[in-house]
Structure 1
């Protein structure tokens, strides 16, 4: 298994810091990149609508959403810190190949939907600030395609500094907006007390909660925390968890401040003046100057909107890279990845705006949030399962109270998002001129996603029950044991995948053969190029794998072991038997983690395919 965001993985040293403050400072950063997803343009519409219609009364919903997000992001960080796997990699190692393809497809749709909101937000901001038409503003957003490539080459700390600068711009803009608006502090405090004025407020509240937790943020956070290099002892992991919780708390509270400021601004201007129907970002910008009496209010509003869109688009692209590499084990050039994601967002935006005009941007933003809502459960549910698993978390699994809290939060968020999606589909059916088309496309698709969601929820519980049933010991066995001679193996093949499972596999192999045996390390390259071109493959991953295999050989040879290596290309369950049957091996040792094929040993598929193709014993080592 390759490292998550390999070019910056463990690139920030946290050890040997002399003071506690410097130690904390070394860990601060990942959560700020995550926090921008909680203040992206997709959140602005719900905050403006909530403030203009119901004043300060829905502030408590933002606070509750922030607490939910804090718990879920801390779980995501825990997964990355403890397992050194991001959420996509953990899913790939856990679920079957076809389920992972579906989860990857849904995650990509969510990334595109999020990017759509960011494209529209930036384009609206450019339009409001410079008067550039919306279509041209959308096309201008293509120019940031290479920004991520530039930043990633400068290192993760430079990228974090860039994002923090944008967050600071957003924050300072709204500090001045608050000064201009002069909100009523007693009503702000009253708004933190839970209340739902009417059914319309409930709908807005659902929208606020639904737009708060972004699925791609959970993938992103579990990867970004791995950019820190720290002591992997239990004490070191505990310290990393503590400092990352501090990082998340500070960053997400800043995001809460921005969202609360948008809602307070709408309440102190539009609601106060009886303008209850302001929901479009453009309308909010238009009315700020006459209501607040300063030309700087709309300018700062537009600047903050551009900063929110730009910061979100950078982190969204990172999340897309993490998802593609994690689920598919596929790497492409960052600029190609960026253009693909941006075109998927720009094309529908340009087409819809061209046909229906600029007035539909609000509907497009809502549509992007509905798409995100559909995918949210497929990120939250696996995350809770993973961090609750004792074997995966090596003793750092969450306790029962945290599990209950996480499941309650997941139930609330997923239920509200299902309601949001249901309401939108019913609305489309009622207003559509051709509802039959929706009944044969959108409705079955939504039902299929719902069935898949229940499968994701139930499957790990069923797997545990089956495991207990199959592992129980029968009673009253009367077995006669005879003395056996120990057979020493002289030719041992070991499948390696450069994961932590290799250590266990190698040590067990050495127990079988000792120092006298001949060992052959087998690694299979599974890239798309490897599947098509076989031994002629010459890509980035192949060169890395060759280097790692050579390092294994040199390390083990220095310990006195006789080591040879074999690099294969393609599907492990096909290539490994070919290598084994060409050699004269006594036994094959395999681990249960790593490549798709080896991972499938958990489900029994690869071992069944492989054991019938080789004529020697297969020794399976479980990490």
Structure 2
């Protein structure tokens, strides 16, 4: 019996409606394709599960984060560090729940929604998630195009068109195997981490100001409409809705034992993997804001909100000649990395909700085409400033789609009828619902401010 067959045969008695035994597993081409040693040291077992968390973490440091973090640091100094830390803690919780759902039910979040919710609800959830993926793709196109312009002088429109060709990068990596794909992602993450570690060392920020920004929330975050707009953009850029679908799927690439003990063990290691990876994302996002705060806030450059402006000013303001180049290299690595996760998420969402399967390259070119059109139009009419504003707006759109992914996830994992012995504890469920409620409250506040002209 194959691993995928064993997964189906030993699946817990989930009470999802309209589930067919003929349903294919999520990402069937790589399902249970990575061996897990069942009797080995903790180190070897951790290495076996190492990968999905880092692929998920890519979405938490994509080019959209750069725009919101740069704007937050330049305008408000270290104040929004608390928002970055809070959103990262929310992400750790939600990604752990997504991994639990996938491991316990052998289905990703999209498949679970399709099995449990009525068809009209599923169409709404699918449409909302597609909007989130397009918004994310928009940020990747802009980020990659800006990086190519900064490093090689390629015009923004040309860089956006070049970004469409990365559909073939994913196709090449997937053909090499899922482990090869994970290794590529981790290698680029190391580059991003290294670039910002050097910049933080050069910036030499005041430690007490960082700690105050991290652990002491300012009332202005809620009362100041401009700060709230950027804060919600940070949450939208950090807690990525399509990452919940992605994580619930790619944890199933591990060939863990589809038994109660095997699933509990897999949940433990998958949670460790994603938590460590998301702490890396916290460092990168915090570093972007801190470098921006040191270089621009209080130095007469508080209006810096564009990546191009930051590139030009970083080296002279930080006194490090290669600071700007490191900044652009990290941005390019971020854009390339985000390509992989957004493509996989798009495939998972489309197949899970609609059972519609199209070639990966076609799916990628479709979403990239949709994202490139507004970039070209805005660039042609408004220039670089327009793309910067579009980048921040894309992250607010992401935040507005969050409830459509968070609410179903929390509902599923806190329902004993669906999760049986793997249901989350009452305390975790309460915390998860608080997180969901906070996201809803912030979104409603943003909508109110936009409707009344306060934002």
TM-score (norm 2): 0.91
Per-residue CA deviations over 1:120-144 (Å, capped at 9, x if unaligned) read: 0110111111111111111110221
What residue number does 2:14 align with?
none
Q: Is the 8 A contact 1:373 1:418 kept in 2?
A: no
CA distance in 1, matches of 2:284, 2:321: 21
Mark the CA change 1:370 to 1:171 in structure 2 (over 3 Å): closer, same or farther. Answer: same
Query: Which residue of 171, 195, 220 corresponds with 1:173?
Result: 195
Are 1:417 and 2:446 an aligned pair? Answer: no
Are 1:398 and 2:420 an aligned pair? Answer: no
CA distance in 2, matches of 1:108, 1:321: 10
> Which residues in structure 2 correspond to 1:316-465 (within 5 Å)?
316-424=342-450, 426-427=452-453
Query: Which residue of 190, 198, 209 corresponds with 1:187?
Result: 209
Per-residue CA deviations over 1:529-574 (Å, capped at 9, x if unaligned) read: xxxxxxxxxxxxxxxxxxxxxxxxxxxxxxxxxxxxxxxxxxxxxx
Are 1:288 and 2:314 an aligned pair? Answer: yes
CA RMSD of aligned residues (A): 1.6
Q: What's the offset of the Cα at 1:205?
A: 2.7
Helix, strand or coil at the partner of 2:421: coil
What residue number does 2:70 align with?
48
Q: What's the offset of the Cα at 1:370?
A: 2.7
Are 1:139 and 2:165 an aligned pair? Answer: no
Per-residue CA deviations over 1:203-254 (Å, capped at 9, x if unaligned) read: 4333322322111000000001000111122211111111011101100000
Structure 2 unmatched runs, 5+: 1-22
Q: What's the offset of the Cα at 1:197?
A: 6.2
Structure 1 unmatched runs, 5+: 432-623
CA distance in 2, matches of 1:257, 1:94: 38
What residue number does 2:305 align with?
279
Helix, strand or coil at the partner of 1:6: coil
CA distance in 2, matches of 1:56, 1:212: 17
CA distance in 2, matches of 1:123, 1:18: 45
CA distance in 1, matches of 2:326, 2:268: 36
Per-residue CA deviations over 1:464-508 (Å, capped at 9, x if unaligned) read: xxxxxxxxxxxxxxxxxxxxxxxxxxxxxxxxxxxxxxxxxxxxx
> Which residues in structure 2 correspond to 1:181-260 (within 5 Å)?
181-196=203-218, 198=220, 199=224, 200-260=226-286
Mark the CA change 1:264 to 1:377 in structure 2 (over 3 Å): closer, same or farther. Answer: same
Helix, strand or coil at the partner of 1:192: helix
CA distance in 1, matches of 2:53, 2:434: 23
> Which residues in structure 2 correspond to 1:30-41 (within 5 Å)?
30-41=52-63
CA distance in 2, matches of 1:120, 1:229: 37
Q: Is the 8 A contact 1:210 1:417 kept in 2?
A: no
What residue number does 1:480 align with?
none
Query: Which residue of 287, 299, 309 corresponds with 1:261?
Result: 287
Q: What's the offset of the Cα at 1:146?
A: 0.7
Instruction: Number of aligned residue pairs: give it.
Output: 429
Mark the CA change 1:229 to 1:212 in structure 2 (over 3 Å): closer, same or farther. Answer: same
Which structure has greater strand proportion?
1
Q: Is the 8 A contact 2:233 2:393 kept in 1?
A: no
Max Rg structure: 1
Q: Is the 8 A contact 2:234 2:395 kept in 1?
A: no
Per-residue CA deviations over 1:566-597 (Å, capped at 9, x if unaligned) read: xxxxxxxxxxxxxxxxxxxxxxxxxxxxxxxx
Mark the CA change 1:146 to 1:328 in structure 2 (over 3 Å): closer, same or farther. Answer: same
Mark the CA change 1:123 to 1:423 in structure 2 (over 3 Å): closer, same or farther. Answer: farther
Mean alpha-carbon deviation: is it higher for 169-178 or for 41-50?
Answer: 41-50
Are 1:103 and 2:130 an aligned pair? Answer: no
Which structure has greater helix proportion?
2
Query: Which residue of 105, 123, 126 corresponds with 2:148?
Result: 126
CA distance in 2, matches of 1:359, 1:204: 16
What residue number does 1:552 align with?
none
Q: Is the 8 A contact 1:374 1:421 kept in 2?
A: no
Q: Which has the higher contact order (CA 8 A, sep 6+)?
A: 2
TM-score (norm 1): 0.67
